[in-house]
Amino acid sequence: MKRLDASKLGVCRILMFGFALLYYGTQDFTQWAHVPPVFWRPIAIARLLHVQYPSSASLLIVQWIFRAALLLSCVGLYTRAAIFVAGISGAYLIALPNNYGNVHRIDAAFVVALLFMALSRSGDAWSLDARIGKRAPVVWKFEYAWPVMLIRSLLAVVFFAAGFAKLRHRGLDWITTDSLAILLGEQSRLLEEPLFPAAGAWVAGHARLCSILAGMTVLLEISYPLALISKTARKIIPAGAVAMLISIRVLQGPAFLPLMALQLFWVDWPWLIEWISSQWRVRHAGRSLPRTSTVPGM
């Protein structure tokens, strides 16, 4: 059981930091050094930490440190130190646009999850550290369970808050009126271009369908915390959340890729890997059996 817990956290680490390397590691954060200083409006935590207007050279250095830390975290080399550096440098870079009034709520949960992982022992399995014997076994299996539980709880808070905000500010009118239809029309202008703008326009033109989708959205968001306590809900709600986020990207525009990536913490990776391995062994065992010829009459 201890090995399985460590294995699950290790796989989550690989996938999480592999995604971060591809998604954030390919972004050029030095562009924010070219925004005129007149737009610099540091957020509360930046003011508290006395974060100053960045230079292009300093951002370039932090950016490469962030990329190197993400790579080391993904492969699991000097894992705890690498994740700590990735968490600190990533929090600074990813939060940077917020200091210019460009609020990025999409990334907030992922930044918090990075900091959670920085405090974990996610390098005890599926890592180069474990391969070369740098990790001593941990007796208390909760060491491997709490990061997963905490990130799942973080997701529950994020989705529940989104659903609660809709009901708090609009009530059932958010479902029964044309709120979603208006949103579908505005998002294509204000945010990212939808993957299929024509599909969003078609949905916006059907009031009943918009009400159904709006109701399903609120129901999913409000019920998300049930996944923390119900095995049945755990099999349905995270998958439903991924489907909802994909639908938003297709119809409205915003890409909630960091939130989708965090849904990986709901998957039972040791079981899935063992199942895939068993299927592979069964298939190849069948192929490796020697063929016997039968002689008539024998």
Residue-wise pLDDT tens digits, 212-251 = 999 999 999 999 999 999 999 999 999 999 999 999 888 8
For residue 15, what pLDDT band results from cuts at 50, 70 and 90? very high
Q: Where are the domains of the chain?
A: 1-139, 152-268
Residue-wise pLDDT tens digits, 170-183 = 888 888 888 888 77
3 has a pLDDT exceeding 60: no
Count of all residues that appear for the chain in the document: 298
Residue-wise pLDDT tens digits, 17-37 = 999 999 999 999 999 999 999
Model pTM score: 0.85
107-124 in b/e burial notation, b at 16+ Cβ within 10 A?
Answer: bbbbbbbbebbbebbbbb
Spatial separation of the C-alpha atoms in residues 135 and 123, rounded to whole Å: 8
Say what percent of the chain tops pLDDT 70.
89
Spatial separation of the C-alpha atoms in residues 114 and 94, rounded to whole Å: 11
**Whole-number average pLDDT of the chain:** 86
